Structure 1
Amino acid sequence: MRITDARVILTCPGRNFVTLKIVTEDGVTGVGDATLNGRELAVAAYLREHVVPVLIGRDAARIEDTWQYLYKGAYWRRGPVTMTAIAAVDTALWDIKGKVAGLPVYQLLGGRSREGVTVYGHAHGETVEGLLAEISRYAGSGYRAVRVQSGVPGLSSVYGVGTPGVTYEPASSPVPAEAVWDTERYLDHLPRVFADVRAEFGPGLKLLHDVHHRLTPIEAARLGRSLEPYALTWLEDPVPAELQEGFRLIRRHTTTPLAVGEVFNSLWDCRQLISEQLVDYIRATVVHAGGITHLRRIFDLAAIHQVRSGSHGATDLSPVCMAAALHVDIAIPNFGLQEYLPHSAETDAVFPHGYHFEGGYLHPSETPGLGVDIDEELAARYPYRPAALPVNRLRDGTLHDW
Structure 2
Amino acid sequence: MLKITDARVIVTCPGRNFVTLKIETDAGVSGVGDATLNGRELAVASYLSDHLIPCLLGRDAHRIEDTWQFLYRGAYWRRGPVTMAAIAAVDMALWDIKAKAAGLPLYQLLGGACREGLLVYGHANGETTEETLREAQRYIELGYRAVRLQSGVPGLKSTYGVSSDKDFYEPADAALPSENVWSTEKYLRSTPQLFAAAREKLGGDIHLLHDVHHRLTPIEAARLAKDLEPYRLFWLEDAVPAEHQANFRQIRAHSTTPLAVGEVFNSIWDCKQLIEEQLIDYIRASVLHAGGITHLRRIANLADLYKVRTGCHGATDLSPVTMAAALHFGISIPNFGIQEYMQHTAETLAVFPHGYHYGDGYLHPGEAPGLGVDIDEALAAQYPYRRAYLPINRLEDGSMHDW
TM range (shorter): over 0.9
Which amino acid counterpart does residue 368 of structure 2 have in structure 1?
Answer: T
Instruction: Check whether the contact 1:134–1:164 (CA below 8 A) recurs between aligned residues.
Output: no
Mapped to 1, the partners of 2:165 and 2:136 lie a distance apart of 11
Counterpart mapping for 1:59-70 below 5 A: 59-70=60-71
Mapped to 2, the partners of 1:165 and 1:249 lie a distance apart of 35
For 1:46, the equivalent position in structure 2 comes to: 47
Counterpart mapping for 1:158-169 below 5 A: 158-163=159-164, 165-169=166-170
Which amino acid counterpart does residue 20 of structure 1 have in structure 2?
Answer: L
Instruction: Check whether the contact 1:104–1:368 (CA below 8 A) recurs between aligned residues.
Output: yes
Instruction: Check whether the contact 1:352–1:372 (CA below 8 A) recurs between aligned residues.
Output: yes
Instruction: Check whether the contact 2:7–2:57 (CA below 8 A) recurs between aligned residues.
Output: yes
For 2:248, the equivalent position in structure 1 comes to: 247
Deviations 1:120-172 (A, max 9, x none): 01100001111111001100001110110000000000000011534211101
Q: Where has structure 1 moved over 6 Å in runs of 4 or more? A: none
For 2:137, the equivalent position in structure 1 comes to: 136
Instruction: Check whether the contact 1:127–1:151 (CA below 8 A) recurs between aligned residues.
Output: yes
Query: Structure 2: any 5+ residue segments left out of the alignment?
Result: none
Deviations 1:356-390 (A, max 9, x none): 00122101020110000000000000000000000
Instruction: Check whether the contact 1:130–1:164 (CA below 8 A) recurs between aligned residues.
Output: no
Mapped to 2, the partners of 1:15 and 1:335 lie a distance apart of 29
Deviations 1:71-98 (A, max 9, x none): 0000000000000000000000000000
Mapped to 2, the partners of 1:124 and 1:350 lie a distance apart of 27
Mapped to 1, the partners of 2:13 and 2:385 lie a distance apart of 5
- State the Cα RMSD in Å: 0.6
Query: Structure 1: any 5+ residue segments left out of the alignment?
Result: none
Q: Secondary structure at the residue paired with 2:20? A: strand
Mapped to 2, the partners of 1:227 and 1:164 lie a distance apart of 27
For 2:345, the equivalent position in structure 1 comes to: 344
For 2:58, the equivalent position in structure 1 comes to: 57
For 1:171, the equivalent position in structure 2 comes to: 172
Which amino acid counterpart does residue 48 of structure 2 have in structure 1?
Answer: L
Identity %: 71
For 1:397, the equivalent position in structure 2 comes to: 398
Q: Secondary structure at the residue paired with 1:110? A: coil
Instruction: Check whether the contact 2:167–2:343 (CA below 8 A) recurs between aligned residues.
Output: no
For 2:112, the equivalent position in structure 1 comes to: 111
Deviations 1:263-291 (A, max 9, x none): 00000000000000000000001000000
Mapped to 2, the partners of 1:3 and 1:219 lie a distance apart of 51
Counterpart mapping for 1:135-154 below 5 A: 135-154=136-155
Q: CA deviation at 1:342?
A: 1.1
Instruction: Check whether the contact 2:149–2:209 (CA below 8 A) recurs between aligned residues.
Output: yes
Mapped to 2, the partners of 1:378 and 1:357 lie a distance apart of 25
For 1:91, the equivalent position in structure 2 comes to: 92
Instruction: Check whether the contact 1:206–1:233 (CA below 8 A) recurs between aligned residues.
Output: yes
Which amino acid counterpart does residue 282 of structure 2 have in structure 1?
Answer: Y
Q: Secondary structure at the residue paired with 2:347? A: helix
Deviations 1:1-25 (A, max 9, x none): 1100001000000000000000001
Which amino acid counterpart does residue 204 of structure 2 have in structure 1?
Answer: P
Q: Secondary structure at the residue paired with 2:260? A: strand
For 1:101, the equivalent position in structure 2 comes to: 102
For 1:191, the equivalent position in structure 2 comes to: 192
Q: Secondary structure at the residue paired with 1:227? A: helix
Mapped to 1, the partners of 2:131 and 2:269 lie a distance apart of 40
Q: Secondary structure at the residue paired with 2:88? A: helix
Q: Secondary structure at the residue paired with 2:9? A: strand
